[in-house]
Structure formats: structure tokens, C-alpha cells
Amino acid sequence: LNVSQHEVKRILDEFHRSKEYKSIQPLEGSQNAIQQLQKKHALHLVTGAAPFVAEEIRAWTENHFPNAFTDVHFAQSYDSTVVLPSKVQICRSLNASIIVDDSLDFAIPCAQAGIKVILMHKRWNEQPKKKDAELGIRRVNWWPEALQQVERLTQASRSRY
């Protein structure tokens, strides 16, 4: 698009401060799934959103998922002007064994690092699914399926010990 990093930051900042951003609703089934997961797991939100919109991200999250997440962590994303840890590094520092994401760009490194990945199927990550199977990435279409996969994965890991 030939847009400077400064212009991208300005556009994102403007969007995250807008009433449109504040009116975005969570994905169908996500609130119930997160509520169920938080009963059994310590949940952390690991996002590729830019840290300069941290206040807005935290406010939106707390509004729609009150007290659900232990913390919000900002990972390296597409902004090359800010150096942050990768999602893999953050997951390792948290001893996280499972990540739910909607980006194949983040899912693949996590899976390669041995983190179990549940990938929300979206039009922007529709690569051939053969690679998913090779890496152990589990695709789901909506949050109730993600909840089921987390339960299966945690049960499977508990039965090994």
C-alpha cells in the first residue's frame, strides 16, 4: 500500500479511539467459551496489536471479558519500529501449552515450538490445510469448537502423566 509506519500508527490510533472500535462485539460464543476456560485455566491475552493502543485494548477486553485474563501481553507484529517478544517467547515465559489464534503467521511458529495451536478459521489464513496437519494445528470455525479442543488437549496431556 506504500503507507509509512507513522501513517499506519495514526490510522490505527484513530480507529482504536473511535466509537466504531468501542462498538465492536466479541465473536459469537467467545464470551461463554472464555468464561468456561477461566474456571479451569489461567488465561492470558497475547495480541499482535500495537502497544500504543494498549489502553483501548485493555478497556475493550475488560468491558467484554471482565476479569477473564490475568494480563494482556503485546507481541511482535507487523510494526517493525517496535521490538517486542514474539508470541512464542511470551507463551514460553508463561509456560503456556495452548494458544488460540486467528493468524497463521503466528500459529506456525508456535506449533513449531511445540505449543498446541487452535486456529480460528478465517479467510486470511486459508492456506492448504496439509501443513496444518503436519504441524498439529487444529482449525476451528467458532469459539465453542475452540473450547472443545482445549478440553480435549488438556485431558490428553493429563492422561499422559
Spatial neighbors of 149 by CB under 8 A, at least 6 apart, are 118, 138, 140
Q: How confident is the model at residue 139 (pLDDT cuts 50, 70, 90)?
A: very high
Residue 18 has pLDDT above 80, yes or no: yes
* Alpha carbon distance 24, 18 (integer Å): 10
* Alpha carbon distance 154, 161 (integer Å): 11
Q: How confident is the model at residue 8 (pLDDT cuts 50, 70, 90)?
A: confident
Local structure of 30: helix, strand or coil:
helix
Which pTM value belongs to this model? 0.85
pLDDT at 116: 95
Report the b/e string of 54-68 with b at 16+ CB within 10 A.
Answer: eebbeebbeeebeee
* Alpha carbon distance 121, 144 (integer Å): 13
Q: For 36-54, what is the mean pLDDT?
A: 91
* Alpha carbon distance 45, 101 (integer Å): 10
Q: φ, ψ for residue 12 (rounded to 5)? A: -65, -40
pLDDT at 159: 61
Residue 128 has pLDDT above 90, yes or no: no
* Alpha carbon distance 68, 38 (integer Å): 6
Q: For 142-146, what is the mean pLDDT?
A: 95
Q: Is the pLDDT higher at 35 or at 131? A: 35
Residue 161 has pLDDT above 60, yes or no: no
Among 11-20, 108-117, 123-132, the range scoring the smallest mean pLDDT is 123-132
Residue 153 has pLDDT above 70, yes or no: yes
Note whether 19 and 134 are within 8 A (CB): no
**Which sign does the torsion angle of CA 67, 63, 53, 38 carry?**
positive
* Alpha carbon distance 141, 161 (integer Å): 30
pLDDT at 112: 94
Q: For 94-114, what is the mean pLDDT?
A: 94
pLDDT at 80: 65
Residue 1 has pLDDT above 90, yes or no: no
Q: How confident is the model at residue 17 (pLDDT cuts 50, 70, 90)?
A: confident
Sheet holding 138-140, edge to edge: 98-101, 116-120, 138-140
